[in-house]
């Protein structure tokens, strides 16, 4: 892993100021999926409907939310939420 000088300074300052817990719990900058905003709606529809393919699920998500996502990204979203296994 490569760190910038700015990151090294920030971590050094944290260490010098005794902020060990904060230093050890630094998380990455991952962005929240927009699908998460519609999670309840999507799951309710999946439970109520008879969707058998990602293509059908993709069409339902586009119709319900207006979000256009690839079948791959929808599959990743469903796996993260333990729907598709």
Q: What is the pLDDT of residues 6-46, one digit of tens each?
A: 888 888 888 898 887 777 776 666 677 889 889 999 999 99
What local confidence, expressed as pLDDT, does residue 56 receive?
A: 95
Place of tokens 């990602």: 54
Q: What's the confidence (pLDDT) of residue 26?
A: 65
Considering Cα of 33, then 42, then 68, then 72, what sign does the dihedral take? Answer: positive
CA distances from 79 to 25, 33, 54, 75, 85 (A): 25, 13, 12, 6, 7
pLDDT at residue 72 in the model? 95
Residue 29: phi and psi, rounded to 5, are -95, 75
Average pLDDT over the chain, rounded to an integer = 85
pLDDT on residue 85: 43
């Amino acid at each position: 892993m490569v760190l910038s000088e700015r990151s090294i300074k920030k971590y050094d300052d944290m260490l010098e100021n005794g902020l060990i817990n904060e230093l050890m719990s630094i998380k990455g900058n991952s962005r929240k999926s927009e699908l998460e905003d519609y999670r309840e709606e999507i799951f309710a529809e999946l439970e109520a409907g008879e969707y058998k393919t990602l293509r059908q699920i993709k069409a339902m998500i586009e119709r319900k939310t207006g979000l256009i996502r690839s079948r791959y990204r929808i599959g990743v979203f469903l796996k993260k939420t333990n729907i598709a296994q």
